Chains A and B, each alone.
Chain A
Amino acid sequence: MIPAQFDYIAAKSLDDALSLLAKHKDDAKLLAGGHSLIPAMKLRLMQPGVLIDISKIKDLSYIREEGGHVRIGALTTHYQIESSDLLRRICPLLPETATHLGDVQVRNRGTIGGSLAHADPAADWPAAILALDAELVVAGGKGERVIKAEDFFVELLTTALKPGEILREIRFAVPKGKVGQSYAKFRHPASGFAVVGVAVSLTKDGSGKCQSAGVGVTGVSAKPYKAKGVENALKGSALDGKSLSAAAAHAADGVEANADLFASAEYRKHLAEAYTRRALDAAVSRAGK
């Protein structure tokens, strides 16, 4: 219940945070919403020597549409995304995903950047940003770089972020055309994390066929992944029941699934397929005729 001792430094700006990180290196942890870090520290599973609080950096919390892209600051809270009128209009997948995330209190405080950087294998956001083919803008001592969502999740609790780097922004092209999106989640009865979570963002062409499809899956394996087999099967398909089933069948292709007290690997893989089908059904129905 009580964290070990540490030094606390509130960063005033992103540059300030970067230089603090450079100074304290591995001994430091970034504190944003704190909803992954602080529970781990209370159980003393993590005992960083320095906490660099970036939550007060104001210009990292925003949701903007600019030049055909949506840009979301890393410190934007789950609730800001959930309640964003802009996103509800142009990318409802994100508000929908947010409603599934944790609980109201967690959503009020937790941030999208913090969640992504923590890379919990059962977190919700990864599925959505994979489905959207988002890019993650990362600030470091030597300037910025951009990591594709697909390349961001490396393994269990590990991202492509290098020491000293800070996730600054999540951005993706505004979905255009007849867009249909959905997030379908099987919630763990105790933790609320995703036993399986599937995010879909697809578009239809004039004839009603699938023009593009992004499918992200979380909860199933040690890292969230883009279900390419599903995406490939969808492209050009009629998006009827038969093609959706056929596509969903690829949801866990080549994936080594997790097993825990609640669900075996076999069942998880099945759930991946079932929830992919659910997400697809909803997305297709929302994409309009």
Chain B
Amino acid sequence: MKTINVTVNGVTHRSEIESRLLLVHYLRDALGLTGTHIGCETSLCGACTVLLDGQAIKSCTLLAVQANGGTVTTIEGLAQNGELHPVQQGFWEHHGLQCGYCTPGMIVAAAQLLERNPDPTDEQIRHGLEGNLCRCTGYQHIVQAVQCAAKKMKSKPAVAR
């Protein structure tokens, strides 16, 4: 067993864990943050995307011990003071989700994308979301949702994460 200290959505946790515990299982099972989903086992679907030290990563491809000392933001930590993150707003307004299963990972990846490129083209959005699969939407509303979020973040930059 290993002891880790991880700050998740602003709260620091000290946990005893098995070395092989995947970060996604730690978040979901140990911390009860079930918004982060699992859709494959080959690091391809992106449903498990979270931010680790500000960077989008696939939490199914990281051991929880590797996150020791790190700061994690999950979908549950994206809204601030009761206000949805602009990407969450964009997804809602533009019907960027249907079954919702890929959505948390998609939103976290999109938030990272806009942080790095606040004014993306549609092509850049599609390229930036290449690590996230959606089987429902055909991606078009997702592209529109991210564009909408980009506009919101430009007009109100303080909200940007």
B128 at the interface (CB under 8 A from A): yes
B61 pairs with A38, CB closer than 8 A: yes
Chain A residue contacts of B38, Cβ below 8 A: 1
B158 to chain A, nearest CB (A): 24
A13 to chain B, nearest CB (A): 17
B57 pairs with A39, CB closer than 8 A: no
* Total inter-chain residue pairs, C-beta < 8 Å: 87
B20 pairs with A3, CB closer than 8 A: yes
Counting contact residues on chain B (CB < 8 A from A), the size range is 20 to 34
Interface set, chain B 63-114, CB cutoff 8 A to A: 63, 65-66, 68, 109, 112-113
- Given A2-B20, A105-B131; A8-B65 close (CB under 8 Å): yes
What are 17 A-B residue pairs whose CB atoms fall within 8 Å in the complex? A1-B41, A8-B20, A34-B61, A34-B63, A38-B61, A39-B61, A42-B60, A53-B65, A79-B55, A99-B127, A102-B131, A105-B46, A105-B56, A105-B109, A106-B58, A108-B56, A109-B62
- Given A2-B20, A35-B43; A104-B61 close (CB under 8 Å): no
A179 to chain B, nearest CB (A): 26
Chain A residues close to B by CB (< 8 Å): 1-8, 10, 31, 34-35, 38-39, 42-43, 51, 53, 55, 79, 99, 102-106, 108-109, 190-192
A39 pairs with B41, CB closer than 8 A: yes
A109 to chain B, nearest CB (A): 5
Chain B residue contacts of A51, Cβ below 8 A: 19, 63
Interface set, chain B 105-134, CB cutoff 8 A to A: 109, 112-113, 127-132
B66 pairs with A42, CB closer than 8 A: no
Contact of A106 among B65, B127, B131 (CB under 8 A): B131
